[in-house]
Structure 1
Amino acid sequence: MKSLIYTPIATGDKLTEKLSGLSEEGFEIMFDSGGYHVQTNNGDFEELYKYIMPFYEQNDWGHRYVLPDNVPLSDDDEATVDQKVKETRANARLSYYFLPDKLKSKAIPVIQGSTYEHVTECVETYAELDKVQTVGFGSFETFGNNNGVNIISEDVATTLRYAVNLAHEQELEVHAFGVGGPTVIPVLNHLGVDSFDCSSWIRAGGYGEIYFPFKSPMHVSHDTDRNGPKVFREDLNQLRSESGHSCPFCRSYTELRESRISRILHNLIVLKEMSRGVGDYTTDEVLTQMNDQSRYTSLLRSLA
């Protein structure tokens, strides 16, 4: 299945029309409510709600509809997080009941918060929405420009595993928002997450990085002085042979080095292959392929 996640409030009508056509061609489109976009751009949650609910009603051709959530930020104090979680639950319940009946089974309310109590309150609230089949998890730690990169710390992993177990007990699937990469996917799989989305493959390709299965990102474009592992011409064939990965976009070292689009498409193919095949490996088999220096190698070893 070809899948896309789309944030309407961050784009425009022309892209919506294009995606509608792709939906007719067999693409699975998930509408993201835009809670994270609004929070990181100093937007207003009430304005988001007023925008997104009419949009959903007018565009009923999607496959999944993320309900509006008030996203806690890393620097929010405890009282603010509590309030945002409460608002997320209340608005998810309200949004669900105002959705057209044909969309209720496609609704995805979002688990927010950093404590077991927050998670429990969210899952119990969403389990009462009788047609909901999937819940989202977005409470990751962040870093980078504008807190744009989600990471899984040990604390987050513990909370996520608790959320997955609780949701599965209620026969709800769990989708992880905005986190993924060659070393993150084995952790998500180990924690029992059912699906995830990410844009790391685009960002990495733009920064001159390439992926190989179970390995940390490596720099292939050395025009800037960046830290981290690097790939030189003599390394490429060995990496392809050891990983078992081969695609049209990584056959040429020069093309990978010089073409941003080739890096991006190569990275996407690697993640697609991994997401489909990671369940075929035992945890020990995965760990033998991962980099010792990766944060997620030690995390997966700890979880196992």
Structure 2
Amino acid sequence: MRVVLGSPLSAVPKPWLYFDVPGVMINAIEIKRDPRRVLGYEGELWVDSGGYQILKRGLLLDVDKIAEIYRRVDAQLYLSLDIPPSPEDPPDLAEKKMRKSYQNWLKLRKSVGDAVVPVLHVYRDPALFEKYLSLYRDAPALAIGAAVPYVLITRGVPRGSREYALRLIKRAREEYRGPLHVLGMGSPSVTPILALLGVDSTDSATWRLKAAYGKVLLPGGGERHVTDRVVNFGRAKPKDGELEELRRFLAENGFPALDGFYERIKTSFEYRALVNAFVVIKSTSHPPRSTAFRKLYVKIAEEVSKAASRQ
């Protein structure tokens, strides 16, 4: 399974200049000129519509403007303009948002072409999920969105939401045979589970954010604060042997810049960001570290094994 790196156009560092990355995802609302030239990147490029940011900032950017941006950008995939339902939304409002996302996809696909990827949203009513899953059967690729509140945040959602959302993703994999992407789920705690489910790709932008807060990501999930700065949350420091484990993981997977590792992760944002990007990309087969995610991983691995033995 591949992890695509979400990146601002002006981002430093640029991991693709140091090691291979499966793909880079950029935001349509940032594009002012040729993004490939700005990034210095010739690989697989994805463009996100910026739907979440549009809603969060109260911006007015309609589907016709997104289509105009997409037509002038050389990319492999363009994510449709979606309107994700919140877990707290009543069913009628969720239905309205999911219908609008579907209509946006139809319009963008007609205007831009088959490289436009629709977004199917996780929601607490499985019947709504199933309804729109059936409408996207002929899409060349499919993205699953709105899973993050259920899987990675879990505040304000019912107990058991983590497994519930993963079951919906499993259902999408069973019914949809094309390339399947899960948006925003590139955490090393989750990617091994997605790989078991047969998901083709996911993405992550946290590699830079965590580095900016002075943190490194560990293989299998978890983050450790490694600088001397004062932080208000996520203060966990490395436990005995964890940094050595991280360095060993990097070395075994071919990380190209190990000289001065222990000092550089403490003092350099750019170095931490490169380490985090590498960990995100390479952790898809590393069992989750946390108890909760490891239990899910083991449970799903057993189910997958039993299903394979019955075939």
* Alignment match of 1:7 (pick from 4, 27, 32): 27
- Hey, what does 1:252 align to over in structure 2? 261
Inter-CA distance 82–113: structure 2 relative to 1 (3 Å threshold): farther
- Hey, what does 1:291 align to over in structure 2? 289
* Alignment match of 2:34 (pick from 9, 14, 17): 17
Q: In the alignment, does 2:115 pair up with 1:117?
A: no
SS state of the match for residue 143, structure 2?
Answer: strand
Q: In the alignment, does 2:145 pair up with 1:135?
A: no
TM-score w.r.t. the length of structure 1 is 0.78
Inter-CA distance 154–222: structure 2 relative to 1 (3 Å threshold): farther
Q: Distance in 2 between matches of 1:43 and 1:113?
A: 24
What amino acid is aligned across from residue 53 of structure 2 in structure 1? H
Q: In the alignment, does 2:277 pair up with 1:268?
A: yes
- After superposing the two structures, state which structure 1 stretch, 106-115 or 249-258, moved more: 249-258
Q: Distance in 1 between matches of 2:175 and 2:223?
A: 33
TM-score w.r.t. the length of structure 2 is 0.76
Inter-CA distance 250–203: structure 2 relative to 1 (3 Å threshold): farther
Inter-CA distance 110–215: structure 2 relative to 1 (3 Å threshold): closer
Q: Percent identity?
A: 20
- Hey, what does 1:301 align to over in structure 2? 298
Inter-CA distance 299–179: structure 2 relative to 1 (3 Å threshold): same
- After superposing the two structures, state which structure 1 stretch, 33-42 or 238-247, moved more: 238-247
Q: Distance in 2 between matches of 1:70 and 1:238?
A: 41
Instruction: Report if aligned partners of 1:176, 1:197 keep a CA contact under 8 Å in 2.
Output: yes
Inter-CA distance 234–180: structure 2 relative to 1 (3 Å threshold): closer
Deviation at 1:211, TM superposition (A): 2.1
Segments of structure 2 that go 5 or more residues without pairing to the other structure are 1-19, 302-311
Q: In the alignment, does 2:50 pair up with 1:31?
A: no
Deviation at 1:212, TM superposition (A): 2.9
Report the number of matched residues. 269
- Hey, what does 1:88 align to over in structure 2? 101
What amino acid is aligned across from residue 64 of structure 2 in structure 1? K
Segments of structure 1 that go 5 or more residues without pairing to the other structure are 279-285
Inter-CA distance 22–105: structure 2 relative to 1 (3 Å threshold): farther
Instruction: Report if aligned partners of 1:249, 1:263 keep a CA contact under 8 Å in 2.
Output: no
Inter-CA distance 56–199: structure 2 relative to 1 (3 Å threshold): same
- Tell me which stretches of 4 or more aligned residues in structure 1 moved more than 6 Å: none
More helix by share: 1
What amino acid is aligned across from residue 297 of structure 2 in structure 1? L
Give the CA RMSD over aligned residues. 2.8
Deviation at 1:126, TM superposition (A): 2.2
Q: Distance in 1 between matches of 2:264 and 2:240?
A: 11
Deviation at 1:246, TM superposition (A): 6.2
What amino acid is aligned across from residue 165 of structure 1 in structure 2? E
Instruction: Report if aligned partners of 1:173, 1:194 keep a CA contact under 8 Å in 2.
Output: yes
With a CA cutoff of 8 Å and minimum separation of 6, indicate the structure with the bigger relative contact order.
Answer: 2
* Alignment match of 2:215 (pick from 206, 209, 212): 209
Deviation at 1:110, TM superposition (A): 0.9
SS state of the match for residue 105, structure 1?
Answer: coil
Deviation at 1:21, TM superposition (A): 6.7
